[in-house]
């Protein structure tokens, strides 16, 4: 039964647009699935390999701008950004990895944080390439409705899910977890830690970049403050995984559902809405204290909590 759960979920999602959902609901679904891709990507590097990145907006932004620049400078469809971003993001990930992966633990996190900010400032100032803060506007939308966008991101998410699962069940997965648990031990067991951390970073970056490239085509407008955002991209990527469950297959999926719904929910509250980051912050603190393994990881704890509630 459990084996077929992913297929059932995929089938349900695939027929959803046929039910005539409102544009708004479809938009929420698309955002949720896009965030689950970013979450899966972050989880591969941060959850399994233990390299906590505070700069995944860098890869998201590079993916988004690859698509955007293809449209604005080269004059071809922004959809070409999806295949091309794989190449561009890999190159950037190799450069960033060369610098940041020499650092361990909190220093790696700070390094990636800096990379995200540097790329935002670059995108703001390289006006010849990126049009700076004006951003890039895709003037012709491919589709008026959202149905096809939904199927494209669903396909990307399915591929991402399969990729993560295959990688984690292989030799790479064992090596990633070994590096997370003890880098010195891993090194002395013959694992080239720098090499395998670079692989984890590249895979994670490419998946995030694909989501970014999709974002450009879907939203039709990008600017540096949006796609290289620390609080709206990098931190939310971490939160999606923390809320859902670190180093689990379903954690990022569950986390993205909760985070997107929560963000939409809080934003629609009058006056308090502008402060949704405050709520995210409080939520993160609560989760780190009470459910360090996230919803999927601490499911037994949650069940116990509810049982106690019933007895009283």
Partner 1 sequence: MSALLEIKGVSRFFGGLAALSDVTFNVERGDILGLIGPNGAGKTTLFNVVNGFYGPSQGEVFFNGKKISGLKPHQICALGIARTFQVVKPLQRMSVLDNVIASAYLRVKSKAQATKTAADILHFTDLYDDRDVPSKGLPLGKRKRLEIARALATRPEMILLDESFAGLNPTEQNECVDIIKRIKGNGITIMIIEHHMKVIMSLSDRIVVLNYGQKIAEGNPEEVRNNPLVIEAYLGDTQGA
Structure tokens, 131: 């049009």
Site string for partner 1, 115-154 (x = CB under 8 A): ----------------------------------------
The reply to whether 288 sits near partner 1 by the rule CB under 8 A is no
Which is nearer to partner 1, 171 or 301 (by Cβ)? 171
Is 48 a binder of partner 1 (CB under 8 A)?
no
CA angle in degrees (0–180, nearest 5) for 84-255-306: 170
Count interface residues toward partner 1 (CB under 8 A).
19
Q: DSSP letters of 265-309?
A: HHHTSTTGGGGHHHHHHHHHHHHHHH-TTHHHHTHHHHHHHHHHH
Nearest-angstrom CA–CA distance, 9 and 151: 14
Residue 292 makes contact with partner 1 by CB under 8 A: no
* Cβ nearer to partner 1, comparing 169 with 305: 169
Nearer to partner 1, 45 or 235 (CB): 45
Q: Give residue for tokens 């390094």.
A: 111
Interface stretch with partner 1, choices 89-97, 140-148, 167-175, 250-258 (CB under 8 A): 167-175
CA nearest to 141, candidates 68, 70, 219, 88: 219
**257, two tokens:** 């559902």
The nearer residue to partner 1, 55 or 297, going by C-beta atoms, is 297
Residue 300 lies near partner 1 (rule: CB under 8 A): no
Query: Min. distance of Cβ 181 from partner 1 in angstroms?
Result: 4
Give 58 or 186: the residue with its C-beta nearer to partner 1: 186
Q: Which of residues 168-227 bind partner 1 (CB under 8 A)?
A: 169-171, 174-175, 177-178, 181-182, 184-193
Q: Helices in 43-136 by DSSP H: which ranges?
A: 56-69, 81-100, 105-125, 127-130
Whole-number minimum distance, CB 190 to partner 1, in Å? 4
250 close to 43: Cβ distance less than 8 angstroms: no
Nearest of 221, 158, 202 to residue 9 by alpha carbon: 158
Residue 75 in the binding site for partner 1 (CB under 8 A): no
- The answer for residues whose C-beta is within 8 angstroms of residue 260's C-beta and 6 or more apart is 28, 31, 32, 35
Q: Does 21 bind partner 1 (CB under 8 A)?
A: no
User: How many residues comprise the chain?
Assistant: 312
* Binding site residues, partner 1, CB under 8 A: 169-171, 174-175, 177-178, 181-182, 184-193
């Amino acid at each position: 039964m459990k084996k077929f759960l992913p297929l059932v979920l995929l089938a349900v999602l695939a027929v959803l647009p046929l039910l005539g959902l409102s544009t708004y609901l479809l938009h929420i679904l698309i955002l949720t699935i896009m965030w689950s891709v970013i979450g899966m990507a972050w989880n591969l590097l941060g959850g399994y390999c233990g390299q906590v990145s505070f700069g995944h907006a860098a890869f998201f932004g590079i993916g988004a701008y690859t698509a955007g620049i293809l449209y604005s400078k080269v004059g071809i469809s922004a959809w070409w950004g999806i295949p091309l971003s794989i190449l561009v993001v890999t190159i950037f990930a190799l450069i960033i990895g060369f610098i940041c992966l020499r650092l361990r633990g909190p220093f790696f996190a700070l390094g990636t944080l800096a990379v995200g900010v540097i790329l935002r400032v670059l995108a703001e100032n390289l006006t010849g390439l990126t049009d700076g803060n004006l951003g890039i506007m895709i003037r012709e939308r491919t589709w008026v409705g959202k149905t096809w966008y939904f199927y494209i991101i669903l396909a990307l998410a399915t591929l991402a899910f399969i990729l993560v699962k295959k990688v984690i069940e292989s030799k790479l997965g064992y090596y990633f977890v070994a590096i997370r648990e003890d880098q010195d031990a891993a090194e002395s067991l013959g694992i080239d830690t720098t090499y395998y951390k670079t692989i984890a970073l590249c895979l994670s970056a490419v998946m995030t970049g694909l989501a970014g490239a999709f974002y450009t085509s879907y939203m039709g407008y990008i600017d540096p403050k949006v796609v290289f955002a620390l609080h709206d991209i990098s931190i939310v990527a971490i939160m999606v995984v923390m809320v859902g469950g670190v180093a689990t297959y379903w954690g990022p999926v569950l986390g993205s559902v909760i985070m997107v719904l929560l963000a939409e929910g809080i934003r629609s509250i009058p006056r308090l809405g502008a402060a949704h980051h405050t709520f995210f912050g409080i939520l993160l603190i609560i989760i780190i204290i009470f459910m360090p393994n996230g919803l999927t990881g601490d499911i037994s704890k949650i069940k116990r909590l509810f049982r106690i509630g019933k007895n009283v």
